[in-house]
Amino acid sequence: MNNDQACKALRTVNSIAAKAKSKGKHPFAAILIAEDAESMLLSASNISTVRHAEIELARKAAEMYDADFLWRCTIATNFEPCAMCTGAIYWANIGRIVYGVSETELIKLTGSHKENPTLKLPCRDVIKAGIKQIEILGPYKSVEDEILELHRNFWL
């Protein structure tokens, strides 16, 4: 996946996150992209504090697609996946993660908000603990402000 494809995917994710926010949900979203790095197969947004977009998408993907197929796919998400979601992506066998903004930046916005008690555990560290060589691309500074804009003043 090249830089232009990744940024296009992240902008799509951000528009899905904006829709979730307009419905009173946390502005997080994820999409599953086929191996052509263009075709969107699935999308998800946050449902609750436990049912994050990435985990919902990974679960659906694992039910719908063969593990070998998923290994050639990409999950794109507006923020770096948390440890829980990274684990779900790992177990679903999705071969690449693309994220727009680091979890460190999210923590700066959310602070100790009870609805986002995130762990300071980068997704790269979670993946390193396993045996699969999942590719991780991100953060993308070129879309960071667009993504952060949905979260400014949301966590007050």
Catalytic residues: 54
> Collapsing DSSP states into helix, strand and coil, what is residue 12?
helix
Non-local (6+) Cβ contacts of 50 within 8 A are none
Peptide bond preceding 117: is omega within 30 degrees of 0, i.e. cis? no
End-to-end Cα separation, the chain, in angstroms: 36
H helix runs in 47-154, sequence order: 53-64, 67-71, 83-92, 103-110, 123-128, 141-149
Residue identified by tokens 């986002």 is 116
